[in-house]
Amino acid sequence: MFWQVGVRNFSRELLYPYESASLWFDRTVSVRFRSLWSRANNAAQNLKLEREVALLRIAVNDADAREREILRLRQALDFKPAVKSSWVAAPVLSRGGTSAAWQSIRVAKGSSHGIRKGDPAVVPEGIVGRVAEVSAHTSEILLITDPNSRVACELETPTSETGVVRGILYGGGARPGGDPELTLLYVVDPLRLRYLARDFNPAPHTRVISSGLGHTFPKGLLVGYLLDSRLEPNGLSREATIVPAVDMAALESVFILSARGGAHAQ
């Protein structure tokens, strides 16, 4: 019995260094190795997830862009001018036009499509401008944001209470008695509606529409929205700040209203 106990003790003592070394290796080297492996694996998983998230963001952006394009095309297909007229759909070729004016666009339709100088250009959101120059296959449209633009307008107010309130819309940068200031096409510059009735203070967000006077723009087309108003320096009339209803920098196509009373052009 004493011999067996001695053998067992000797065996345990003989195995102790190996067991101790194995335990140390498992608790130090192996643990660290597993930790490094886990970190590397987590980093790879994170990188994979980041790539998948980036791809999902691209897909979402593409879907949003397609949805906006579908909405724009639906609005174009459903567009019906507020006045009786024929119209020609014209894609935008360039911004700035051939005369290097900042506030104009050039479109791919011209006199061969029945377009004439002075014809108004619109989109479903409202007035864009008028045709300033025409060639056989292209037209240059002066935007209402151009300093040289003038549009006869009126406020969409209850006529039974206030009567018709009319004014002249000036393009951005224009100042009375001064030289027009050219502004970049993509800069949002509020327009000015001048010569309003002195004693009438319109409410903010009032709709501004074309009055039909001057025979350039038909009556009833949306121009923009009123921000605020103030008395002009001479004290004889009121001036209002107007935000255009149309985002001129985002134009891809326009509708040019041609001879009144016909069906839309093909």
Phi, psi of 225 (to 5 degrees): -130, 140
Q: How far apart are CA 258 and CA 26, in angstroms?
A: 87
**Token pair for residue 263?**
């069906």
pLDDT at residue 81, rounded to an integer: 60
Burial class from Cβ neighbours inside 10 Å (0-12, 13-18, 19+) for residue 173 reads buried
pLDDT at residue 187, rounded to an integer: 43
pLDDT at residue 181, rounded to an integer: 42
pLDDT at residue 1, rounded to an integer: 61
Phi, psi of 171 (to 5 degrees): -65, 165
HEC profile for 109-154? CCHHHCCCCCCEEEECCEEEEEEEEECCCCEEEEECCCCCCEEEEE
Dihedral of CA 248/254/256/261: which sign? negative
Burial class from Cβ neighbours inside 10 Å (0-12, 13-18, 19+) for residue 61 reads exposed
Let me know the angle formed at the C-alpha of 61 by 59 and 65, rounded to the nearest 5 degrees.
115
Distances (CA, A) of 194 to 116, 167, 245: 28, 5, 18
Q: How far apart are CA 205 and CA 242, in angstroms?
A: 9
* Average pLDDT per consecutive 10 residues, the chain (266 residues; last block may be shorter): 61 66 68 72 82 83 73 63 72 70 82 91 92 94 92 82 85 51 48 91 91 86 93 90 90 80 38
> Which among 249, 161, 154, 149 is positioned nearest to 191, based on CA atoms?
149
Q: How far apart are CA 129 and CA 90, in angstroms?
A: 13
pLDDT at residue 196, rounded to an integer: 93
Q: How far apart are CA 19 and CA 61, in angstroms?
A: 60
Residues 6 or more apart in contact with residue 150 via CB below 8 angstroms: 168, 169, 170, 171
pLDDT at residue 245, rounded to an integer: 92
